[in-house]
Each structure stands twice: as structure tokens, then as C-alpha cells.
Copies of this chain bind each other. A is one copy, B any other.
Amino acid sequence: MTHSSTDNIVQTLENWILGARAGVKLPTSRELVEEYSVSPVTVRNAIHVLSEKGLVEVRPGVGVFTKPHRAARVADYGWQAGALGALQNDLPVITPAQKTGSPDVIALNNGYPDEALLPTDQIRRTMVKVSKEPDSLKRSPVRGLPELQNWFSHQVECSPRDVLIVNGTQSGLTAIFRSVVGNGQPLLVESPTYWGAILAAKQSSIVLHPVTSDEEGPKTEDVEKTLKSTGARVFYAQPHYANPHGRSWSQKRKAEILELVRKHDTFLIEDDWAHDFWFNRSHTPIANQDADGHVIYLRSLTKSVSPAVRVGAVIARGPVLHRITAHAAAEAMYTSSLLQRVALHIVSSNAWNKHLNSVRRELKQRRDDLLDALRSKAPEVTVNHIPAGGLNLWCEVEESIDVEKLAQVSESNGLLISPGQGWFPTDPTGSFFRLNFAGSRSENFSEAAESLHRAISEIRQ
């Protein structure tokens, strides 16, 4: 056992030494003996180890001193520029939609609902419950906890075996893009479309081909033409309350697109990100109508349960799921069983539907309040579509206004907005920005709209 008491002191002193400057005197042996309740032999051994490691200098009769553990000079990382080479993909660390501001800022940029819209208290109680469950700290199976797979299988008409639990849908998207689309291959997308999908595609050097849309959804003929001309095998879309503009495909268009992907032996990735956030009536996923494995369905719980509970699912039928699973496993092994259990308790509780209903009412109210505020205080801002679900308003201003600049001016006035560029797979078709009405309360919207109005006036001058 001697080694462990020695090592304890060694480790503690090592931390202390690494934080100290060179030439600082260590406590005396007697002090160390007292402080750690160990024998003088243990202390001597520890000093010996530290000296061997080159961390201290023993000056007999004087004391033990920290050694300069590194020449005091500025590190030179210049060589890395050459070693890293040109950027393969220019990926941002933090996108405008992820920026967080100080508490006195009005944040309409953020994609996450504020705490008032989350079942925070219930999650806290659930954590206590989960902490007592015998299996809660076990390693999860690669595909996820069977109980949670089962819950998801009732969300879409499928078998629990068709469900892969992932550590948030961004991980799911990454695994799908890698395994089904493939590095450098073509992918059809709507325009504008979810920035996270654009980011994940960029990372795999995937070539994005936007298709044109009308009020009913992507134009069927254009999707067919683009599938043919590019040879793409996959179409990524958000058919319900799409981020950013909140539009949904009509029933007719959904059927047409599904028929089309069937006909061309291709896949539709249905990212049902706002499944829980409808205002008037719930929708049925396209995946429910898919018999032969053409739809790869994505569903996240992060936004409706909690940003701290990163749990989502990929649902797919046939051999394609096996391929996605292999990639997801190579990337992250498995998803924390602790988070899966918390999520499972929340979504399968009796309170869940009630909670979602109150969230929907509140979101609808905030949407209306933000629209009202814009109409009365910032008439220069146009909202072309009033979304019947989701968390966002997609706003347009006259084309002469640089929305990057608008975002900067607004930020300096204490308002965060997201310039629209991030949602465009190619060039933006106008001056757009996104306002999220879920991350901030209605009482701030009037001030936000006034702030926008002032910023626009300032830029126009």
C-alpha cells in the first residue's frame, strides 16, 4: 500500500508545482508529514519521485524548490500552418444561431427554447429517480436502450429494430451523410434549408444541389430533373415547419415526392425537427407512408426535452440502417444510457402531452406577439409566411440592406438576430434574417422590433 500514499502526495504536489512559478520553495518535510498524515519515509519517497521527474530541485540543507519546467518563451505555432495545409472545408466553430449573449441582451438568434418552455422541474425530479435505477449507469447497447427504441417506434410506424438512438440529430445527420450520401457526392436540398445540415454536408465535402419550391413544397418536376442531372441518390428536407421559414409541404406534394424517390430508387431524409411544435394540428411523418425503406427519418428530443439531454433517433428500414449504425458507432460508440433514461421517463410520462400542449399555446402566442410587434414597430420587415409550427419567423428586408451589417448594428444595440446567409446552400436570394420567438419572452418583442427599426434606419442613411 505504500505506493499509493506516496503517489497521492506526488500527484497533489505535481498539480501544485505545475501551477507554481520556478524557484518556489515547497513546504518542509515536516509540514508535508503533518498535512498528509503520512510517514517521513513516504514524504522522502515522494520528493525523490518528483526530483526524478525533473519537477523539483533538492538543495540539501536549504529545501526543495520547483524547477523551471519549460523555458520561459512564447510558444511558436507557426509550423502548424504548413503542417495543417489549406483548409479542406471552411467550418465555423460557432455559427450566428449559436451565439449567446449576456443576460441584458435580447437573443432572437438562438435556436433553442428558453427554460420556461422546457420541462425543467420534471427533468430535475427525473434525474433523482434515474439515479436510483439499478441499470442507469450501465453501458448502452450500440443501437440504444430497447425501451427508448420502442417509444420511438410508436412515433413512426416501424419496428423498434428500425430505430437507432443517437447523441442528438446532428450526430445522426453526420452519420447519414457519411454512410448514405458519401464523401464528395451530390445531395439535393431545399433552399433555404437548415444550417446544421449545410454544415454537416460541408464537412464531408458533399456537393449541395438546391431545388426550387413553391407554397406547396419543393417542385416535383424540379426535384426529378435535378435527381436525373446530378445522379444524386439522396434528398435532405424538412417537410414540416422547415427551419428557417416554417413552411410545410402540402399532402399532395408529400405524396408526389415520396412517389418520386420511389421511382428513382433514392432516399428522402425527412428531418422532422419540429414534430412537437405544431400550433393547430399534429402532422403525420412521410415516413409513415413509406413501405420500402425510402425515407430516413430524423427526430430530436433535444429541443423539446432539454439542451442538456442530447438524445435523438434515426429511423430507417432495410440495410441502409445497418450502414448508418456502423458509421454512428465508429463516431461515438453509443449514447449515454443516463441521458436516454431521463429522456424516456420524460416523453413517456402522463405529463408530457399536457406539457407539450402548454408549450404549443405559448409558442403560438409568442409568434403572434412578435408578428404584432414587427407590424407596428418595424414595418420595413416583411414576414412572407406565417408559420403554423416551429420556433422561427423568417424575415425579409429590402435588398439594399446588408443583413450582416444589420446583425452587427443590432448586436451593438443589445439585440441578437441571425443573418440569413447560413441557411442558403448557394447564394442568398434576398436580404433575409431569422428571428426565433422561443428563446425570448413576448415582453421583449416590442423593444426588439423598435431596435430593428432603428438599426434599419441607421443603415439606410
- A138-176: CB near B (< 8 Å → 1, else 0) gives 111110000000000010010000000001101100100
Q: Does A183 contact B (CB under 8 A)?
A: yes
When all copies of this chain in the complex are counted, the total is 2
Asked if A308 is an interface residue, CB under 8 A from chain B, the answer is yes
Cβ contact within 8 Å between B140 and A308: yes
Chain B binder among A58-66, A69-77, A213-221, A377-385:
A69-77
Residues on the B chain within 8 Å of A202, using CB: 330
In whole angstroms, how far apart are the Cα atoms of A203 and B325 in the complex? 12
A14 to B275, CA, bound (A): 15
Shortest CB distance A241–B (Å): 15
B323 touches A84 (CB 8 A): yes
Bitwise, A349-370 to B at CB < 8 A (1) or not (0) is: 0000100010011000000000
Q: What per-residue 1/0 map shows which CB atoms of A90-102 lie under 8 Å from chain B? A: 0111100010100
Interface flag for A338 (CB, 8 Å): yes
- B200 and A292 contacting across the interface, CB-CB below 8 Å: no
Inter-chain CA distance A266–B284, complex, in Å, is 53
Between A76, A140, A167, the greatest number of chain B beta carbons within 10 A of the residue's beta carbon is seen for A167
Tell yes or no: A226 within 8 A of B by CB: no
With A75-B317, A319-B81 in contact, do A168 and B7 touch (Cβ < 8 Å)? Answer: no
Residues of chain B contacted by A329 (CB below 8 angstroms): 91, 93-94
Task: List A residues 261-289 near B (Cβ within 8 Å).
Answer: 265-267, 280-282, 284, 288
B-side contacts of A332, CB under 8 Å:
167-168, 170-171, 174, 310, 332
Cβ–Cβ < 8 Å partners of A325 in chain B = 93
Which of chain B's residues have a CB closer than 8 A to the CB of A460?
Answer: none
Query: For A266, what are the chain B residues with a Cβ–Cβ distance below 8 Å?
Result: 83
Cβ contacts A110-142/B at 8 Å (1 or 0 each):
001001001010011101101110001111111
- Does A333 interact with chain B (Cβ within 8 Å)? yes
The answer to whether A183 touches B88 (Cβ under 8 A) is yes
Given contacts A137-B308, A282-B10, contact A320 B357 (CB under 8 A): no
CA distance in complex: A94, B334 (Å):
11
- Which residues of the partner chain B approach A322 to less than 8 Å between Cβ atoms? 93
14 residue pairs of the A-B complex, CB under 8 angstroms, read A11-B282, A75-B291, A75-B318, A79-B292, A84-B323, A115-B137, A124-B136, A138-B308, A139-B307, A170-B333, A183-B205, A200-B330, A200-B331, A309-B336
